[in-house]
A and B are shown apart, each in its own frame.
Chain A
Amino acid sequence: MKESPIKETEIKIKNPNKFDLELSFEVALKKIRKWKKCSIIANFLGEYQAESCESNKSKTASIISTIANELIENAIKFTDNNHRNIKISIKERAKTIFIETENITSIDHINNLNSTIENINTQKNKDKLIIDKILENNSDEKSNSEIGILSLVSHFGCSIFTHVKDEDLGKDIKKLTTTVSISNLVPT
């Protein structure tokens, strides 16, 4: 059977190798099995980024930590069991911050994520989408409620993009890069 194409919501960055600030590292999932480490990494990224701000350091650290934590938690929840490394990076260019995770995940998850992104990008009343999701999941314990992703766009003004690398990794899995970009981090 022919594989259906994966839709992407790819970001286009001019001169992608020229960032004002870049920090990137890879962690083995077995090393971050203790859930609290997601938060430790997110807080570290927040503190690291905030150090380059002249003001609002604590708010910047808090916002970056919140955004990074949702991305990292999402990557960990949906990483394929046989490919358990996650690459995490934070970059800044022209006052826009990009937080990225790269992991190997199922095509189903990629399609669900892209569908969520498309849905929130086209929805005018984004808060209603979140409330509908909360009510829809009220008695449901599924871990992919997507409220985190929706909240990043609706409440933090983030843009979210995905990119899928066309590598032969096995049946039904692909390498996914999820990028969250945010400008005007702490409005004055």
Chain B
Amino acid sequence: MIIKTDDYTIECTDLNLCKIFGSMRLPSPLSYNQPFSPIKSGIEDATDTYIIDITELKYLNSSGITSLARLIIVARKENKELRLLINNSIPWQKRSLSSLTALWEKLEIKPV
């Protein structure tokens, strides 16, 4: 499944992998439910470590970080391993995401 808007693209075309590109600054965590729903399903149906690649996600606001954290909580509930591929040259990714590992012991945050 591909969700494409003027600002961002979410590609969940491979089993166990999703890529998010662009800039996501939606008004509330609720407004992320729809664009993140294929990721949530992907985590629930994952047959191996599920990978979320955000290396080309330039911006994500705090509502988006909250929603990303909720996906991690879904992985924890489903006992699924999760890997977050990040880009350390994007300041918010380098600074804001490391604390999320406290949410789930099987979350790996990997800079690429």
Contacts and interface: CB of A to CB of B under 8 A. Distances in A.
Interface in A48-103: 59, 62-63, 65-66, 69-70, 73
A150 to B, nearest CB: 8
Nearest to B69: A134
Which bucket holds chain B's interface residue count? Answer: 20 to 34
Contact of A62 (B29, B73, B92): B92
B90 A62 contact: yes
Contacts of A137: 29, 66
A69 B25 contact: yes
Contact of A39 (B23, B95, B96): B23
Interface of B: 7, 23, 25-30, 58-59, 61-63, 65-66, 69-70, 73, 89-92, 95-96, 99-100, 102-103
Interface of A: 35-36, 38-39, 59, 62-63, 65-66, 69-70, 73, 127-128, 130-131, 134-135, 137-138, 141, 143, 145, 147-148, 151, 154-156, 186
